[in-house]
Amino acid sequence: MSGGVDSSVAAALLKDKGFEVIGITMCFNLPDVETKKPRCCGLQGIEDARRVAQKLGIRHYVLNMQKALQEKVIKDFCKEYSLGRTPNPCVRCNQYIKFDALLKKARSLDAEFLATGHYARIKHDTGHMTQDTRYFLQKAKDLKKDQSYFLYRLGQEQLKHVIFPLGNLTKVEVRALARKYKLPVAEKKESQEICFLPDNDYRRFLASQCKIRLKPGKVVDAQGNCIGEHKGIACYTIGQRGGLGIAMGIPIYVTRIDHKKNQICVGNKEDAQGKEFIIKQPHFISKPLKKRVALLVKIRYNHKEALAQVLPFAGKIKVRFLKPQFAITPGQSAVFYKKDIVVGGGIIDEAMH
């Protein structure tokens, strides 16, 4: 229970269905900073979750997960940006904290399931649960809120013990249920995406918390000609258009970041497109990939998935789109879909130019 509308309604729905519900809120001991949007896992979020638990008449626990966040999420976040890559901390939080450390804690409290307010669905391939039942992760009914992209690293053992009560609901329906249950957070605004970034200012965070020293370097064009100076590679991401401080008479975009040379390459929009890339740390929800297969691939959360050939390649996975895609970004997750089922995915390691 983050203290938001979604997890609060999830708890209310399960209690309504007759489950014995226990509320758990993670505390990351984040600095109390004024933000435009509410933050999950902050002091206000913990207090809101406590009020909801009281309203529902359920037990409520607060767990200190600061060390896990620092070790598993923030360290990687800082390291990736220092290498000119763009990480997705929400994927790692789900992988290592919510559906690993938190799930283990829930199981230690004799809970059979961990339920969250994620918009996604879980299916299984048999009418009756058996030892051989296979579980599948499916997109949510509300495609505008679907969060299956962030959950692609879940496996069979996790899906067996996870419930997503909001998977078949729209956000409008969830708000209506919050009002019906008279939850104290019924009108609460959406929280920001990354809990440890005040107002999503990742550059300030990198400088203050990660102690990354920004080192200026060359900005070069497609021919390798120096056309300006950047402020430090951690300040940029592939496909970025604004904030370059270079006028060329046409819109220009970051097309490549070379951390070894401390160099940023820019070009036109076409130069920022690509068709092939390699992923590392591949993960498949059901069975590993053994041969080439055509799948829909999403290369970032707000990217419309596109058809691609996906094939095993020297212990990694190679992806080849049928049509060029904009801003294939190392560090981001590429997630594979078969219709609306998540097959798996991995971290984009290298984009082919």
Q: Which residues are catalytic?
A: 93, 195
DSSP secondary structure, 33-77, as one string: ---SS--TTSHHHHHHHHHHHHHHT-EEEEEE-HHHHIIIIIHHH
Distance CA 201, CA 211 (A): 15
Half-sphere exposure of 89 (CA within 13 A, CB side): 22
Q: Are the C-beta atoms of residues 239 and 303 closer than 8 Å to each other? A: no
Strands (E), the chain: 22-27, 59-64, 114-115, 120-124, 135-139, 162-163, 217-220, 226-230, 253-258, 263-267, 273-284, 293-298, 306-313, 316-326, 333-338, 341-351
β-partners of residue 219 are 228, 264
Residue type, 136: F
Distance CA 27, CA 24 (A): 10
